[in-house]
A and B are shown apart, each in its own frame.
Chain A
Amino acid sequence: MDLTAPDGAATLYHPTPAGLDPKVATREVSVTYGGKLALDRVTLNVPDRSVTACIGPSGCGKSTFLRCINRMNDTIDNAKVTGSIRIDDEEVNDRSVDPVVLRARVGMVFQKPNPFPKSIYDNIAYGPRIHGLASSREELDAIVETSLKKAGLWNEVADRLAQPGTSLSGGQQQRLVIARAIAVNPEVILMDEPCSALDPIATARIEELIDELRENYALVIVTHSMAQAARVSQMTAFFHLGALVEYGPTEEIFTNPLDQRTQDYITGRFG
């Protein structure tokens, strides 16, 4: 995968290993919130069937970048997004793209588990229902079951699907939310600090799950934990003050960073 850096961009790119096809390609993406620059000309390729980790100190723009990919910034009144984001060569930021349809292709998992105030079953069935993915009750049951199995939650909740989703533990809720995202059969899954509200055991379970999901999806994950980025991701992007500083294979970034700021951040000197 080649990434031709545009002239003048400050980003340092490591050579990308072969065999990774780009799924999401962003070019010069900038975001302003009410005139304040939050993301400054970010250009990178997210490979398919792999995990891309976004790291950086708080307020560096990594969550903002994530929210560009499924146009969640649209829900914020004064946010303005420029530049190009393509998923499989289809422009995301185009007016003709319906964000509702786009978000069915790009699932998202948030920092705090946010199950809907509904039963476990209805939480999973929510997406398939609003997008009309199942034509019969049996099909819907099947979708719910496969999604919960993929998220590794089926064995724990199979006999209590009618209970409210909020009755689960924090780690189970987060897996429920991942299952909910999987249920609409997306191509890309975005995760915004998915483990920051969980204990270490639940975190390990989610990381395992992320590793399994890599087989089928392109994942982009924002994390504050360097160790987590090192454990689960293949590619790592380091953001600082709204700019993408350095992007490359995770191993390269962590063992051989090109930029001094990256070096300082991953060794814990700031952030």
Chain B
Amino acid sequence: MQISVLVALTLLVLTAVGFLVGRRRALSAADGQPASLHSLPDYYGYYIALWTGAPALFLLAIYGIFGAALVNTLAFGQLERDAAPLIRGYEAALSQDADHQILSGRLDRLNDQIAGLRAELQGGTHSGDVEADVRRLSALTAERNQVQAGLAERRSEVASGIEARTPDTPAGRRALAGFEHWRATPERRELFIADARALAFDEGLASRDTPALRAAAAALQPVERLFQWSAAGAALALAVAGLAFARSRVSRRFRARDRVEGAISAVLLLASIIAILTTVGIVFSLLFESIRFFAAIDWRIHEFLFGTQWSPQIAIRADQVGQSGAFGAVPLFAGTALITLIAMAVAVPVGLFAAIYLSEYAGPGFRAWAKPALEILAGVPTVVYGFFALLTVGPALRDFALFLGYEDAVTQSALSAGLVMGVMIIPFVSSLSDDVINAVPQSLRDGAYAMGATKSETVRQVVLPAALPGIVGAVLLAVSRAVGETMIVVMAAGQGANLTANPLESVTTITVQIVMLLTGDQEFDSAKTLSAFALGLVLFVMTLMLNIIALRVVQRFRERYD
């Protein structure tokens, strides 16, 4: 830590020195005539400063990203070599252990049986009692889990025997550390490394403190220190070398200004690449988690996309009943579509008409305060809309429905969530539409008025058609907002996955289910949790399609006015 601060400060100073050196060098090259230089003296300074700072920073960044992994590999590789006698003893003990051999044999047989049964069930050639076979499969799986647990127990017994016989000397402790690292499952290994690093470098709190961990920490420290020093030395050497190199290039003819320009465009390019790569990264993480989900439901993608039953609970223990898990997402798609439809039915006419009034009819005085007032609506947090829907609109709608004689009315309904979401989107539609209507050139309006058209004729027949592509774009953007909106529906639409077109029933949406699946304590290897990622992927694809269509529409129908 201290080293890195020191290096950063030194680099900063070197960069500043580089700037001054560049300026002075350029001025001396100019022989007292700064105007004879290709660029202003400052540009030579920037040029050298860039060559001093940028490569060294790049090196440090690379070290920051890959350094820890490299240090771990080197240190634990050495520890595992120290543990070689222990590993050999452990393997020998296991191969002579009768219990272990019986259990491994059983596991192999069980695996074969399960694979055979699976293939039979999926192959479609199965003729017998499917349900009985499915029951048999789950019984076999439960048995396999037991055998695996037994194996793990047996192994750790053997391992603790070995560990107990290891002498409590520094070398012994190192061997123990290497042995533990070697024997651990990937998750445990990660934890072990994290604990060792915590003990060695105060990176957070260690969950345990054992002699083996202490030994591992001690092994980490010298390697880490070596790497830090070498990285710091390399960075500083690179900075000095860059400074010297750039200084040697400075001459009267040298185009420092163009080089600096190039560096600026590189920085800007980097920023946009970071933004794009982040998006790509998010998409890929969605994609991979979704693939894990589809693998967990045996690739029944059609069932996910077209199934009408959504109940993602899955048995975690063997003795739980009635929790097979059903991942038919159609009720969620339908709920999303229903609420979006209601929201758009509110937002599009109101927003559009408000925009037309504000841009075509309203006097400047009214417009001056009405437009900001409408935009305040966009500043209300969605959670506030949520409890407005839940506490005010929902009960009012329910009472009204009861009054009309509809007995099954509930507070949490698609209608109340949709209405309030529509209100939320009004400023979105009106503000975007207002912009495109104002962008319609005055000459078109003049043309219509000069033909003897009235105001509303002009708006309907000339202004709106000219603004249509923009308005369609605005509406589609509003739709993708409605589809992705979460808070209002979480609070006001209910959670039951009903497949219904009745707006007075409670429905659930894709976003609500994602919230339900991922909040609270979850384990990220069950199909239930992973299904959230598949839903997220569907949501992403939906909004992506909407945006692509919106762009296409806008391009296709755009009239060019200059």
Partner of B449, one of A103, A131, A166: A103
CA distance A147 to B462 in the complex (A): 20
Instruction: Decide: B451 and A72 in contact? CB cutoff 8 A.
Output: no
A83 interface hit (Cβ, 8 Å)? no
CA distance A103 to B450 in the complex (A): 6
CB distance from A149 to the nearest CB of B (A): 19
Chain B interface SS verdict (over half)? helix
Which chain B positions have C-beta within 8 A of A166?
559-560
Which chain B positions have C-beta within 8 A of A101?
452
Of B54-62, B277-285, B439-447, the one contacting chain A is: B439-447
Which chain A positions have C-beta within 8 A of B443?
110-112, 114
CA distance A164 to B444 in the complex (A): 15
CA distance A77 to B453 in the complex (A): 18
Known: A166-B559, A166-B560. A116 touches B452 (CB 8 A): no
Of A176-184, A211-219, A234-242, the one contacting chain B is: A176-184
B99 interface hit (Cβ, 8 Å)? no
CB distance from A250 to the nearest CB of B (A): 26
Q: Which of B362-399 contact A (CB under 8 A)?
A: 363-364
B127 interface hit (Cβ, 8 Å)? no
Which chain B positions have C-beta within 8 A of A111?
443
Which chain B positions have C-beta within 8 A of A75?
445-446, 449
CB distance from A95 to the nearest CB of B (A): 17
Which chain A positions have C-beta within 8 A of B447?
110, 114-116, 177, 180
Known: A116-B465, A117-B466, A166-B560. A130 touches B451 (CB 8 A): yes
Chain B residue with Cβ nearest A197: B562
CB distance from A8 to the nearest CB of B (A): 34
Which chain B positions have C-beta within 8 A of A103?
449-452
CA distance A166 to B466 in the complex (A): 11
Chain B residue with Cβ nearest A109: B450
Which chain B positions have C-beta within 8 A of A61?
none
Which chain A positions have C-beta within 8 A of B462?
116-117
Chain A residue with Cβ nearest B451: A127
Which chain A positions have C-beta within 8 A of B453?
100, 126, 130
A104 interface hit (Cβ, 8 Å)? yes
Known: A77-B364, A110-B446, A112-B443. A117 touches B465 (CB 8 A): yes
Instruction: Decide: B451 and A114 in contact? CB cutoff 8 A.
Output: no
A107 interface hit (Cβ, 8 Å)? yes
Instruction: Decide: A130 and B452 in contact? CB cutoff 8 A.
Output: yes
B96 interface hit (Cβ, 8 Å)? no
A118 interface hit (Cβ, 8 Å)? yes
B122 interface hit (Cβ, 8 Å)? no
A206 interface hit (Cβ, 8 Å)? no
Instruction: Decide: A116 and B450 in contact? CB cutoff 8 A.
Output: no
Known: A103-B452, A126-B451, A184-B451. A114 touches B560 (CB 8 A): no
B461 interface hit (Cβ, 8 Å)? yes
A223 interface hit (Cβ, 8 Å)? no
A172 interface hit (Cβ, 8 Å)? no
Which chain B positions have C-beta within 8 A of A164?
559
B120 interface hit (Cβ, 8 Å)? no
B448 interface hit (Cβ, 8 Å)? yes
B457 interface hit (Cβ, 8 Å)? yes
CA distance A70 to B451 in the complex (A): 10
Chain A residue with Cβ nearest B455: A75
Known: A110-B443, A114-B443. A130 touches B457 (CB 8 A): yes
Chain A residue with Cβ nearest B462: A116
Instruction: Decide: A116 and B444 in contact? CB cutoff 8 A.
Output: yes
A108 interface hit (Cβ, 8 Å)? yes
B454 interface hit (Cβ, 8 Å)? yes
Partner of B452, one of A77, A127, A177: A127
Chain B residue with Cβ nearest A190: B450
Instruction: Decide: A180 and B446 in contact? CB cutoff 8 A.
Output: no
Which chain B positions have C-beta within 8 A of A117?
444, 462, 465-466, 468, 559
Interface bits A82-111 vs B (CB < 8 Å: 1, else 0): 000000000000000001111110011011
Which chain B positions have C-beta within 8 A of A107?
450-451
Which chain A positions have C-beta within 8 A of B468?
117
Which chain B positions have C-beta within 8 A of A115?
447
CB distance from B440 to the nearest CB of A (A): 9
Interface bits A155-170 vs B (CB < 8 Å: 1, else 0): 0000000001010000
CA distance A116 to B463 in the complex (A): 9
CB distance from B533 to the nearest CB of A (A): 44
CB distance from A198 to the nearest CB of B (A): 14
Which chain A positions have C-beta within 8 A of B465?
116-118
CB distance from A160 to the nearest CB of B (A): 17
Which chain B positions have C-beta within 8 A of A100?
452-454
Interface bits B445-484 vs A (CB < 8 Å: 1, else 0): 1111111111001000110011010000000000000000
CB distance from A51 to the nearest CB of B (A): 19
Which chain B positions have C-beta within 8 A of A127?
451-452
Chain A residue with Cβ nearest B364: A77
Instruction: Decide: B461 and A126 in contact? CB cutoff 8 A.
Output: yes
Instruction: Decide: B466 and A181 in contact? CB cutoff 8 A.
Output: no
CA distance A126 to B453 in the complex (A): 9
Q: Which positions in A face B, CB cutoff 8 Å?
A: 70, 72, 75, 77, 99-104, 107-108, 110-112, 114-118, 126-127, 130-131, 164, 166, 177, 180-181, 184
7 contacts between A and B (CB under 8 A): A107-B450, A110-B443, A111-B443, A114-B444, A117-B466, A164-B559, A184-B452
Q: Known pairs A75-B446, A102-B452, A114-B447. 20 more at Cβ < 8 A?
A: A77-B364, A100-B454, A101-B452, A107-B450, A107-B451, A108-B450, A110-B443, A110-B447, A111-B443, A112-B443, A116-B447, A117-B559, A126-B448, A126-B451, A126-B453, A127-B451, A130-B451, A130-B452, A130-B461, A180-B451
The 4 A-B pairs with the shortest beta carbon distances in the complex, nearest first, are A108-B450, A103-B452, A114-B443, A104-B452
